[in-house]
A and B are shown apart, each in its own frame.
Chain A
Amino acid sequence: MGRKFWITVTAVGFGLSAATSALADEMDWGSYQVGEKRSGYTFAKPETRAIQDDEFENPAFLWVDYGEELWDTVDGTEGKACASCHESASQSMAAVGTSYPVFAPELGKPINVEQRINQCRTERMGAEPWKWESRELLAMTIYVKNQSQGEPVNVVLSDELMPFYEKGEEFYNQRRGQLDMACSNCHVDFAGGQLRANILTQGQPNGFPTYRLKWQKVGSLHRRFRGCNKQVRAKPYANGSDEYVNLELFLTHRANGLPVETPSVRN
């Protein structure tokens, strides 16, 4: 793998941006790169990647452990836990992290993992839905997606999903906010570029929920959307809004082939 090579290169003292842009193309990123697609992992500092790679150092594994505990915890009026219906997550959840958002016929629209978890809680367990960004919902989402860790993202666009996908794509390319920028301005046009102290990545979703060093905790993809909206001084949408689920659908399909990294570590 490219890791040892990278460390040698930076130690020799190349500027960070020069190293990423000039050498990244020649570097072997293994499964973290598929053609032109590159995970945020390939833009991260070696120290950050090392934290992600080490289960004992990666702070997000606290949430994996808590999710595992919740999986077996009975809650709600039906006296059920997740495990009552789904038994072992490593088997029953293996394909979830790679394929969501999926179309929910009963709602006539796509839903993501967080929403499926809460649907199970309210409709099958008779339990209260977990709040977005709560420790519980983050832990369960991370635990479920972690069952697909290393597997390639594979969102299949059915006819039913297409109109929602198209809305997500439109959102992605639409300029917004007082700074008048679209997601694509930063993450397509200038991916790999140096924006002040940040290296812009392709904004891939395959590591979410992610442990962000800046947040000092894990956060959902929709939290990231809100942050990226606000930094261009645009009104964000609500976590779990149709707009963000459509955007997640577009973005996750765009990541097809990259490995699920949940829980990743990012700057």
Chain B
Amino acid sequence: MESGVENLESGVGSSVHDATPPGSPGSKRTGDARALRRSLVRLGERSGVPAVLVVLIIVYSLVLPQTFPTARNFSGILTTEDIVILVSLGGMVPLVGGEFDLSIGYVLGFSSMEVAVLTLNHGINVWLASAITVLTAVIIGMVNAFVVLRLHISSFIATLASGTVLSGLVLLISNSMIVTGSFPNSFVRLGFGGPGGIPPGVYIVLAFAVVMLYVLEHVPTGRRLEAIGQGRDAARLAGLRIDRLIFFSLVVSAGVSGLAGVLNTATEGSADPTVGPEFLLPALAAAFLGSTAIRPGRFNVIGTVLSVLLLAIGYNGLSQLGAPQWVSPVFDGCVLIVAVALTRGKVRNA
């Protein structure tokens, strides 16, 4: 399993090496035309996802001029996708370090239920309940890390198991029923309205994406995490503290999923014990799709956010055009395969 990911990455990763940077003295000697072509190829590699995104927006705007290019439609897309973006970014952190967190969907579901139960059934202040919930999620991340690092169980299995346990605990704390009631207005407001017609929840998610961008790409920790993901043995011998980094990544992914759960309850106004697992696959798919763009071969924040939007907008347009429901998942899966295959194909030609 892990080796599969490595292969994917090494394939994608080596695509960066091909050329001298455009404009360097070397490129003049080899001929401007060739250099131009090379830099175009590189641009194409980096900007596959954004380019498709732009094309989709243009095409849908032309085909559906009344309903698609409207502020209302876009704020609607952002409102439904902010939680997916958040979970994708959380799940991406362990992927950067070469580990899987399959419990993110279940942590989301559990947290969504926990905040509802604490607030509605136990009468705790909703913000205090939110804080407790995120803290619980962080503890779940620590447990995951303990199982992976101390019991030496692969993260794939460990988080699959902990996720399964959580799916049972949700039933326990909710009595297997939807928990609903009146949340304070300030809490529910996270999910709708807000400045510019965009709900505060979306701003929270975007702010969080910026923080992630900073931590993963502008702080040494991000570089180290990438190194252990791409070459664990070499990184260990270079003196990197593998255990700390894995601990960090699993705690972040669980904590972020907990936050997403709280946001989900605010948006929905209730907590459903069956919510959660359906977030897992789209979140990981977006992270993988994101790794084909912006910084090909590396999981990255901007690529992941754009990938969530690409898949969402693709679905939005298709459904407005009257495509039946089954089309959307088929579309998502095919996009993922095609994007990864194209990036790898370029490597072979290089």
A binds B: no
Which residue numbers of A lie inside 8 Å of B, CB to CB?
A: none
